A and B are shown apart, each in its own frame.
Chain A
Amino acid sequence: MADGSPRTDISTDVETDDKNQRFDRDQYAIAPVASDSSDKSKDPKDQKTLRRLAQNREAARKSRLRKKAYVQQLESSRLKLTQLEQELQRARQQGIFISNSGDAAHSNSGNGAMAFDVEYGRWQEEHNRQINELRSAVNSHASDAELRIIVDGVLAHYDEVFRLKGTAAKADVFHLLSGMWKTPAERCFLWLGGFRSSELLKLLVTQLEPLTEQQLVGINNLQQSSQQAEDALSQGMEALQQSLAETLSSGSLGSSGNSGNVANYMGQMAMAMGKLGTLEGFIRQADNLRQQTLQQMHRILTTRQSARALLAIHDYFSRLRALSSLWLARPRE
């Protein structure tokens, strides 16, 4: 693009001979200035004017040609850029490492996070579609057999999200933990990268009545078990945090440049890296807990009750998401 700067100024540095030649050639294009049709007037004033006008016309013509060339250059560059962007996108999707203008590692994680966000969005859409189907079936008093098919479908689809999260946990565990893939209100109540099964069950108990004695016991036990497992995992996370803190704070803060200190530092970092690696395991177990809880709930309940439970869970989260939108759009002083 070195020679791309447009020169829009009207050039007046035309060779005199050239000028005269063009003057003769373009004579037919000359608009009559004087009403006198005999333009062979030797009046110097007229000649000067005519010459000037011809020069202007010529300059304008050259300018238009230059502009056209410039625009054509821009167009082809734009096309090339689009092609390059598409190639880049394709390569990134295939997981080929391509560094951004930022640092490479960030770009790698960014891809994992972005890919997950996109896939989660798609999952959510499909989930909503299935829930709508379930809702119509329930409202139209569909048979148990029909309900079971849809309910099984919803549960199988839940398995899919846990699979997606598993892959995402390998690619970018911090993105999952951050909850940035969820709306603000959901994020607020996030526990280890997702919902708390015990809380969900508390919500459901009231909405699932009437329950048989056995079912009530089953649901209460399930709620207690999931709570205990959640506490155990939370305590494990606290132990991890403490262990990490100890690793990073140990070691002498002596004079810099001491080779012993550098070795210490690197050793600490290596150990800390090892500990961070276990985060993925925690998220996996938390998701495992969520998945098992949903399946156990389905075992305890009848098909119809499971359908209502799934609808209730979806409604709860949709309202939470709607709340996020309202909150973000709220008028501020």
Chain B
Amino acid sequence: METVKQLASEKAAVIFTKSSCCICHSVKTLFYELGASPAIHELDRYANGRDMEWALRNLGCNPALPAVFIGGKYVGSSKDIISYHVDGSLKQMLKDAKAIWF
């Protein structure tokens, strides 16, 4: 639990993914497109990846992956990210967290 929370606060934008997950790839691409440089944690490359995924689920992340944190707070999964991007709030969240500047 600690590991996930710690990692989630280490950078303005943090995304937990799986290397094999292609929807995760889409979310990453969107962040790069916006000029944010999110910290990417591919849980299948971590020894305790399973536990970390469990921890995310316990934090309310559904589906567990991809899990997007901005300014240390859980924002949502792919569906939420798309919705927030469409209504403009994603960009605002990134600006507020100083992940992007314009």
Do A232 and B33 form a contact, CB below 8 Å, given A278-B23, A288-B83, A292-B82?
A: yes
Number of B residues near A (Cβ < 8 Å) is 19
List the count of A-B residue pairs having beta carbons below 8 Å apart: 65
Interface-side segment among A96-104, A221-229, A324-332:
A221-229
B25 within 8 A of partner (CB): yes
B78 within 8 A of partner (CB): yes
Interface-side segment among A129-137, A144-152, A236-244, A250-258:
A236-244
Question: A242 to nearest B CB, angstroms?
Answer: 9
Q: Given the complex, which residues of B lie within 8 Å of A284, measured CB to CB?
A: 79
Q: Given the complex, which residues of A lie within 8 Å of B22, measured CB to CB?
A: 236-237, 239-240, 243, 275, 278, 282
Q: Given the complex, which residues of B lie within 8 Å of A239, measured CB to CB?
A: 22, 25
Nearest-CB residue, chain A, relative to B24? A236
CB–CB A285/B33 < 8 A:
no
B45-81 CB contacts (< 8 Å) to partner A: 78-79
A206-242 CB contacts (< 8 Å) to partner B: 221-222, 225-226, 228-229, 231-233, 235-237, 239-240
B21 within 8 A of partner (CB): yes
Q: Given the complex, which residues of A lie within 8 Å of B30, measured CB to CB?
A: 228-229, 232
Q: Which of B25, B82, B88 meets A235, CB within 8 Å?
A: B25
A138 within 8 A of partner (CB): no
Q: Given the complex, which residues of A lie within 8 Å of B27, measured CB to CB?
A: 232
CB–CB A222/B86 < 8 A:
yes
CB–CB A236/B29 < 8 A:
yes
Most buried by A among B22, B34, B79, B87: B22
Q: Given the complex, which residues of A lie within 8 Å of B82, measured CB to CB?
A: 229, 285, 288-289, 292
A268-287 CB contacts (< 8 Å) to partner B: 275, 278, 281-282, 284-285
Q: How far is the CA of A226 from the CA of B26 in the complex (A)?
A: 13
Most buried by A among B29, B30, B86, B88: B86
Question: A280 to nearest B CB, angstroms?
Answer: 11
Question: B36 to nearest A CB, angstroms?
Answer: 12
CB–CB A235/B87 < 8 A:
no
Question: A298 to nearest B CB, angstroms?
Answer: 11
Nearest-CB residue, chain B, relative to A233? B26
CB–CB A231/B33 < 8 A:
yes
Nearest-CB residue, chain A, relative to B86? A292
Do A289 and B78 form a contact, CB below 8 Å, given A228-B33, A235-B26?
A: no
Q: Given A228-B85, A229-B30, A288-B79, 8 more contacts at CB 8 Å? A: A225-B85, A225-B86, A229-B82, A229-B85, A229-B86, A235-B26, A289-B82, A296-B86
Interfacial residues, chain A to chain B (CB-CB below 8 A): 221-222, 225-226, 228-229, 231-233, 235-237, 239-240, 243, 275, 278, 281-282, 284-285, 288-289, 292-293, 296, 299
What are 25 A-B pairs with beta-carbon distances under 8 A?
A: A222-B86, A225-B86, A225-B88, A228-B30, A229-B86, A232-B27, A232-B29, A232-B30, A233-B26, A236-B25, A237-B22, A239-B25, A275-B20, A278-B21, A281-B78, A282-B22, A282-B26, A285-B23, A285-B82, A288-B82, A288-B83, A292-B86, A292-B87, A296-B86, A296-B87
